[in-house]
Amino acid sequence: MIKNILRLPFLSLSVVICSLSTIAAQPDRWQQRIKYNINVTMDVAANRFTGTEKLEYTNNSPDTLSKIYFHLYWNAFQPNSSMDVRSRELGRTRIAEPKGQSDGLDWDARVKDRIGKLIPAEIGYQRVRSIRINGTDQQLKEHETILEVVLNKPILPKSKVHMDVAFEAQVPLQVRRSGRDNKEGIRYSMSQWYPKMVEYDYQGWNANPYIAREFYGVWGDYDVNITIDKNYMVAAGGDLMNANDIGFGYETAGTKAKSSAGITNTWKWQAFNVHDFVWAADPTYKMITRTLKDGPLIRVIYKAVDSVENKWQRMADTAALAYPIMAKTFGAYPYKTYTFIQGGDGGMEYPMATLLKNASVGTAIHEWMHSWYQMMLGTNESLYPWMDEGFTDYSSTRVMATLRDTKTFWYSGAYKGYFNLARSGVEEPASTHSDHFNTNYAYGNAAYSKGAVFIAQLGYIVSDSMRDKILMAYYNQWRFKHPNPNDFIRVAEKMSNMELDWYKEYWINGTKTIDYAIDDINVKGNGAEIKLKRLGKMPMPVDVLLTFKDGSQEMHYIPMSLMYGEKPPENNIARTVHTEWKWPHPDYSFQTTRNISDLRSIEIDPSERLADVNRVNNKLVIPD
Ligand SMILES: [Zn+2]
């Protein structure tokens, strides 16, 4: 049923609504559910807005909830906030390998000490004036970016409550992600802008204060009405319900929007089965679209500047070309629209839309791929950042390489990032909570690079074709269900018929490294004996390619004992499968029937998918 639904997602709005909520109702792991009805009125002179939220919250858990929590992200943009203090602390740490945008210090170059310098008119805030349940005010305790709500009556298991939230906010001068008047001059980048309920799951509340990253939310449906000066064009991750009244290019072809009689427009948006809602607004926005045959309508909304117009056009074209590759390799995108919006400070993903600083094609595809790993699969990015950024980095790099028909080893960037991390002396396990890494450097390389290598290297262990089947099965079984690392590994184990828990334990939960080496070759009978050594602490299966002086080759494959299985042959290359290498043993030897004097070279993992930290000892070339 899920498969059929996913093949027919674009029939009509009502079918989409119904089918997406069917997908969400999975029997095997309960999930909270929410409906937001948000009304805000923006004062574009004061950069403030007031708003109300009507929430319908369904407690599908077996637990009685006596407290609930909300995110108030914008309270981070005040001098001496936790985000400010954390950034300035990281600014005192010099890192060995500064990133391009950095000054050699470990802080985010976009944030630095800027929060500490915000004047009152530039700070951000979100103030909840009241939360009422059945007309009764609830007790509120603000912890900077987290609001604790002590309920006068607990929410019982399998029950639903209606809440009325009244709030006001000031849009911060853009420092990180959201805010007003960013460097490119976009007036409003409105992400993380409303009191957003914290996700409660089988691991409890996920009330992570906002210090830099990351996101996790309750899936639900959004109705968002935005009243703003009528000169502003609004972009959002959702569908505009009153497009024919609003115009700005959203209207059905051939219809003419009525001009608003007052000084404002009210933009009525809807989004279904998403865990967040983003919007942006600017008086100089312009929209281009691309229609896909079997995919969403692509919108690109940007500040009209003649000198970069062709870059946005090219980005829209590339996105249209990329989608069939994305859908074929990683599964279909089920929503009706996707919008690339100029705003924010780099690239930041949200459901059905992204905020982009400029028309960088690589960033655009990366952010859209987050629709798979953050928006549909929705892993808890605080706890498992590598499952979002790593998988997204892997898949978007692969899509770009396919588009560009890259012949070289296209994921070498991720391997390089990981090797640098492994040598840096500051590596922490990728399983570290993303807010609690000691350095941004260790977080970034663990989440993005080591996470991407996790997937690329899985192809080495189970074969690339099996890895692709695993990714598709993972998408089919776990989208809209918040999978954790074990859920992914179980899919991989069931699909490949191999034990793979050891791979997660070593690669994700620790910092042990892989290093295999060619030790020696000896004459053995009429043939040769090849001796290998495991120098690293992490065990892996080993591919060894023998090349002979006559140009012929032999592929040898040594499974590792913890796998209880072997990968299928790859690329139709015949190979010899040897007995398993028992993981505690540092030494292993195997034989070839060919004469030792015929040998030209011996190479461990010619595919270079094994993240061996010392590749110098992987190849032995025998001199004439
Ligand atoms: Zn990303």
**What is the block-wise mean pLDDT of the chain (624 residues), using blocks of 10 residues?**
30 39 56 98 98 98 98 98 97 75 83 97 98 96 98 97 98 97 97 98 97 92 98 98 96 86 96 98 98 96 92 97 97 98 96 97 97 97 97 96 80 92 96 96 96 98 98 97 96 98 98 98 94 98 98 98 97 95 98 95 96 97 89
Q: What is the pLDDT of residue 306?
A: 84
CA dist 587 and 304 (Å) reads 64
Q: Provide the 10 A C-beta neighbour count for residue 202.
A: 12
Tokens read off for 368? 């859209």
Torsion of Cα atoms, 453 then 454 then 459 then 465, to 10°: -110
The backbone region for 525, taken as left when phi is positive above 0, alpha when psi lies in -120 to 50, beta otherwise, is left
Distances from the Cα of 112 to the Cα of 109, 186, 603, angstroms: 5, 21, 46
Tokens read off for 5? 């639904």
CA of 174 to the centre of ligand 1 (A): 19
Q: Which residues are within 8 A (CB) of 478 and not within 5 positions of it... i.e. 6 or more apart?
A: 377, 487, 488, 491
Q: Confirm if 546 and 552 have CB atoms less than 8 A apart.
A: no
Looking at the chain, the number of H-run helices and the number of E-run strands are: 14, 31
Q: Which residues are within 8 A (CB) of 128 and not within 5 positions of it... i.e. 6 or more apart?
A: 70, 72, 140, 142, 147, 165, 166, 167, 195
Three-state secondary structure readout of 307-338: HHHHHHHHHHHHHHHHHHHHHHHHCCCCCCEE
CA of 108 to the centre of ligand 1 (A): 15
Q: Which residues pair with 344 in a beta bridge?
A: none
CA dist 366 and 391 (Å) reads 10
Q: Which residues pair with 577 in a beta bridge?
A: 557
CA of 127 to the centre of ligand 1 (A): 29
Tokens read off for 506? 């070593």
CA of 14 to the centre of ligand 1 (A): 31
Q: What is the pLDDT of residue 370?
A: 98
CA of 443 to the centre of ligand 1 (A): 13
Q: Confirm if 34 and 194 have CB atoms less than 8 A apart.
A: no
CA of 77 to the centre of ligand 1 (A): 22
CA of 610 to the centre of ligand 1 (A): 24
CA dist 251 and 256 (Å) reads 7
CA of 463 to the centre of ligand 1 (A): 26
CA of 18 to the centre of ligand 1 (A): 30
CA of 524 to the centre of ligand 1 (A): 52
CA of 210 to the centre of ligand 1 (A): 17
Q: Which residues pair with 576 in a beta bridge?
A: 556
CA dist 421 and 449 (Å) reads 9
Sign of CA dihedral 110, 116, 120, 126: positive
CA of 392 to the centre of ligand 1 (A): 6
CA of 169 to the centre of ligand 1 (A): 27
Distances from the Cα of 532 to the Cα of 502, 535, 607, 617, angstroms: 21, 10, 18, 10
CA of 348 to the centre of ligand 1 (A): 7
CA of 259 to the centre of ligand 1 (A): 39
CA of 510 to the centre of ligand 1 (A): 23
Q: What is the pLDDT of residue 5?
A: 31
Closest listed residue to residue 488, CA positions, set 502, 504, 511, 466: 504
CA of 374 to the centre of ligand 1 (A): 9
CA of 110 to the centre of ligand 1 (A): 16
CA of 447 to the centre of ligand 1 (A): 9
Q: Which residues pair with 236 in a beta bridge?
A: 279
CA of 272 to the centre of ligand 1 (A): 22
Residue 489's SS3 state is helix
CA of 580 to the centre of ligand 1 (A): 38
Residues flanking ion ligand 1, Cβ below 5 Å = 389, 392
Q: Is the pTM of this model over 0.85?
A: yes
Indicate the helix (H) or strand (E) that contains 165: strand 159-170
**Parallel, antiparallel or unpaired: strands 575-577 and 553-558:** parallel
CA of 355 to the centre of ligand 1 (A): 12
CA of 366 to the centre of ligand 1 (A): 6
Phi, psi of 433 (to 5 degrees): -55, 135
Phi, psi of 398 (to 5 degrees): -65, -40
